Structure formats: structure tokens, C-alpha cells
């Protein structure tokens, strides 16, 4: 729980954009601007003086190259840095270097674009404040260590249980490759998904994610998730296997579906026509999971505008999958999960923290079932 205002240092060379960011940040009662710097040298003087909780960083400054200031900040202080940039490849490199997050710099003055930027920026700042009590470097180091020492569990196959039994006892046992978790999200979903994945162990069934975002930024988003959790996360490539302990994020601008091969689940990437106004489409993924996995799937629909994913989740639900939705109070926009709930596609509405706990509980029960048989 945030008890005092989150103090933000803005590093941005454009005076006009400085003032815009200040206006956005201070429109939220939980946030305050601690200071503004228009160059790297001034920023390095201000950080020890102001001791900000979070820094927003424009990578293009007059007195430093794209990454020298970021490197120095990360070496000298343990303060979260959110990169504000319109360059997707620069965001990818910033995440590799240790930036906590990124947000695409607003490129136009459309009202919808501006409103989404405002919501996302404030959400990202508050999200980082909630997780900051554990130092950033230590958290990233521990996530990497878990990946290096992870051992994937194996278990003998077992016929899937009926839906009624699964709801009370989990997936009824068997190899985790028999099962799959599908997550769909839009506006605000980047933070909700991170909140969920950070709490999940690395021995769960494979996870597939469709998140609405610009095509150039999904790779950087996958890298960011990978750096923050013990699961292995990457952007989708055609025919990628959906393996236990791994997360596959759909490419922006291309649909992703799931099919079943002799070896297990794989993803198919392709098709650029918008469906229901979106590409990738959550509905496309959910429908394919319903067909490929049926009752061996768990579906999750998170915050977002519109109804993408509602029909597909209902199809998963009707095929015997267990389905969860983000509740209204924790959503940025209760559109997608709201429609899914009204149309009967959601078994439970929960907060992101509760969703993480329910996934763990649900998956652990089938492991316990197998252990009891030995």
C-alpha cells in the first residue's frame, strides 16, 4: 500500500515535453514531480540531492549518447528507471542494460492516444513504487538465478478429469505439457500481466499471451517480463513449442494461435488482418486454445477496452477450461473482462494477485494428485 506520494525525477531535454509529463504525473494524487533535468550532467547532480523514488528517462539528450547516462544511473543508484522513447530497438537495449520499464513516447496528439499514454504512465509509475521495497538489482539478480538453476518437473500422463472434478481438485494429474495457460489483455494489461507473472513459479505449464501493443514493442515487452520473473519469456516465432516454465508473447501486428502436435502444443504466427479491430487478436488465440486443449487449459482475461477475447474465452469455458477474469476494481478499463463475465465466459473475477494465487493453487493440485499415487 502506497502511504505517501511517489516522487518522480523527469529527465527530458524538451521543455514542452517536460511540462507535459509533469502535468500528467501530477494529475494523479499518488504521484509528485521531485524535479526536472534537461541534460545528463544536471540529472547526475539532482539524483543524490532529490533522492527520487523513480526516474523517467529520455534516451536522446544533448550531452550524452543513448545509453551512457542510463548505465551511470544504474551503476550508482538502485532507483527504478522508466525509459520514455519512440525507438523500439533502444527500448530493447535499455531493458537488457537494466531499465525497469519503458513506455512508447507519444507520437501524435490524438485524444485516444493521449489518454492511453496518461493512463499507462501513471500505472507504470505506481506499479514500480509498489514493488520497489525490494531493491531492483537484487530482484533482477534473483530472477536470473532462478532461471539458471531451474529444473523442469516431469510426471506420467494421465487422462484429464471431468470439469466438476477439476474445479475442486485441479487438472487431475499428468505431464504439465498436457496443459496450457492462455492470457489475453489490452490497455493496462502490461502491468497486470507483470504483477501475475512475478508471483508464479517456473514449474507451471506453458503460458501464451496476447497483449495489444504496437508491433515494434512486443519484443521489448517480452524481454522486460523475462528480466522480472523466474519464468522464461520470449516473443513468439512460428512453430515455437509451448513448454513448461516458459511464456510466449504474441508479436504485435501478427495473430498467434495454438495447435497440438505429437510433441505437445506449438504456436502458429501469421495473418495481419485485424479481427474485431485488433491484431493480434485475443479471440483468435483463445479459440485455438479451446480447440487444441479443451479441458486441459486455463484462460485468463485482463483489463482492456472493447470485447476482444470475450467470445474466445466463452468458447474455452464451454470446452471445459477453467477461466478467470480481472475484477472491475483492479482494472484500468473493465471492458474485455466485463463483457466476458456478462456473456458467461468467466468462472471467477479476481485481482491480479488473486489470479496468480489461483493459478498456483490450481496447478499444484494436479501435482499433489500425482504425488499421492506414488
How do the pLDDT tens digits run along the chain, 374 residues long? 445 899 999 999 999 999 999 999 999 999 999 999 999 999 999 999 999 999 999 998 998 876 999 999 999 999 999 999 999 999 999 999 999 999 998 876 677 788 999 999 999 999 886 655 445 455 555 555 555 555 443 333 333 333 333 443 455 445 657 899 999 999 999 999 999 999 999 999 999 999 999 899 999 999 999 999 999 999 999 999 999 999 999 999 999 999 999 889 999 999 999 999 999 999 999 999 999 999 999 999 999 999 999 999 999 999 999 999 999 999 999 999 999 999 999 999 999 999 999 999 998 875 555 454 44
Q: Structurally, how many domains does the chain consist of? A: 2
97 in the same domain as 200: no
Q: Looking at residue 196, what is its pLDDT?
A: 97
Concerning whether 372 is annotated as a catalytic residue, the answer is: no
Sign (positive/negative) of CA torsion 281, 357, 4, 77? Answer: negative
Q: Looking at residue 107, what is its pLDDT?
A: 72
Q: Is residue 227 part of a domain?
A: yes
Q: Which of 133, 154, 183 is the last residue of a domain?
A: 133
307 in the same domain as 206: yes
Give the CATH number of the domain where residue 302 resides.
3.40.50.180
Concerning whether 257 is annotated as a catalytic residue, the answer is: no
219 in the same domain as 122: no
Q: Is residue 349 part of a domain?
A: yes
116 in the same domain as 59: yes
Q: Which of 110, 133, 156 is the last residue of a domain?
A: 133
261 in the same domain as 115: no
Q: Looking at residue 63, what is its pLDDT?
A: 86
125 in the same domain as 158: no
Q: CA angle 129-117-223, nearest 5°? A: 65
Give the CATH number of the domain where residue 69 resides.
3.40.50.2300
Q: Looking at residue 177, what is its pLDDT?
A: 74
Q: Looking at residue 64, what is its pLDDT?
A: 83
Spatial neighbors of 124 by CB under 8 A, at least 6 apart, are: 82, 101, 103, 190, 191
Buried b (16+ CB within 10 A) or exposed e, 187-209: bbbbbbbbbbbbbbebbbbbbbb
Concerning whether 212 is annotated as a catalytic residue, the answer is: yes
Give percent helix, percent strand, percent coil of the chain, each to the nearest 5. 45, 20, 35
173 in the same domain as 54: no
Spatial neighbors of 154 by CB under 8 A, at least 6 apart, are: 175
Q: Which of 58, 101, 212, 369 is catalytic?
A: 212
93 in the same domain as 22: yes
SS3 29: coil
Q: Is residue 22 part of a domain?
A: yes
Query: In which domain, by residue range, is 119 found?
Result: 6-133
Q: Is residue 138 part of a domain?
A: no
- Rounded CA-CA distance 341/358 in Å is 17
Q: Which of 58, 240, 308, 347 is catalytic?
A: 308
241 in the same domain as 96: no
Chain centre distance of CA 317: 23
166 in the same domain as 109: no
Chain centre distance of CA 153: 24
Q: Which of 38, 64, 85, 186 is catalytic?
A: 186
Q: Is residue 295 part of a domain?
A: yes
Q: Which of 84, 102, 133 is the last residue of a domain?
A: 133
Q: Is residue 303 part of a domain?
A: yes
Q: Looking at residue 172, what is its pLDDT?
A: 46
Amino acid at each position: 500500500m502506497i502511504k505517501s506520494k511517489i516522487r518522480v525525477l523527469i529527465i527530458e531535454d524538451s521543455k514542452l515535453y517536460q511540462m507535459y509529463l509533469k502535468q500528467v504525473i501530477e494529475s494523479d494524487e499518488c504521484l509528485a514531480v521531485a524535479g526536472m533535468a534537461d541534460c545528463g550532467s544536471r540529472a547526475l547532480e539532482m539524483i543524490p540531492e532529490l533522492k527520487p523514488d523513480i526516474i523517467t528517462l529520455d534516451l536522446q539528450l544533448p550531452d550524452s549518447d543513448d545509453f551512457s547516462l542510463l548505465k551511470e544511473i544504474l551503476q550508482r543508484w538502485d532507483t527504478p528507471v522508466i525509459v520514455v522513447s519512440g525507438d523500439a530497438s533502444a527500448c530493447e537495449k535499455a531493458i537488457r542494460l537494466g531499465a525497469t520499464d519503458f513506455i512508447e513516447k507519444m507520437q501524435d496528439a490524438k485524444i485516444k492516444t493521449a489518454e492511453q499514454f496518461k493512463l499507462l504512465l501513471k500505472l507504470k509509475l505506481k506499479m514500480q513504487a509498489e514493488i520497489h521495497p525490494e531493491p531492483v538489482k537484487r530482484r533482477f539478480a534473483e530472477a536470473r538465478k532462478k532461471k539458471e538453476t531451474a529444473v523442469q518437473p516431469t510426471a506420467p500422463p494421465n487422462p484429464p478429469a471431468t470439469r466438476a472434478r477439476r474445479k475442486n481438485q485441479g487438472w487431475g494429474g499428468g505431464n504439465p505439457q498436457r496443459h496450457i495457460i492462455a492470457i489475453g489483455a489490452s490497455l493496462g494489461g502490461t502491468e497486470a500481466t507483470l504483477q501475475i507473472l512475478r508471483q508464479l513459479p517456473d514449474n507451471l505449464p506453458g503460458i501464451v499471451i496476447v497483449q495489444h501493443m504496437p508491433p515494434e514493442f512486443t519484443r521489448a515487452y517480452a524481454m522486460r517480463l523475462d528480466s522480472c520473473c523466474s519464468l522464461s519469456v520470449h516473443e513468439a516465432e512460428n512453430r515455437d513449442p509451448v513448454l513448461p516454465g516458459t511464456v510466449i508473447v504474441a508479436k504485435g501486428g501478427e495473430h498467434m494461435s495454438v495447435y497440438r502436435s505429437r510433441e505437445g502444443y506449438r504456436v502458429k504466427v501469421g495473418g495481419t488482418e485485424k479481427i474485431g479491430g485488433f491484431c493480434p487478436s485475443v479471440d483468435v488465440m483463445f479459440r485455438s486454445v479451446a480447440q487444441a486443449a479443451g479441458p486441459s487449459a486455463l484462460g485468463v482475461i485482463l483489463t482492456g477496452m472493447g470485447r476482444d477475447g470475450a467470445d474466445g474465452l466463452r468458447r474455452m469455458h464451454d470446452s471445459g477450461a477453467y477461466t478467470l477474469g480481472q475484477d472491475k476494481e483492479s482494472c484500468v478499463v473493465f471492458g474485455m473482462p466485463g463483457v466476458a463475465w456478462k456473456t458467461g465466459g468467466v468462472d471467477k473475477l479476481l485481482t491480479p494477485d488473486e489470479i496468480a494465487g489461483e493459478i498456483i493453487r490450481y496447478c499444484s493440485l494436479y501435482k499433489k494428485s500425482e504425488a499421492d499415487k506414488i
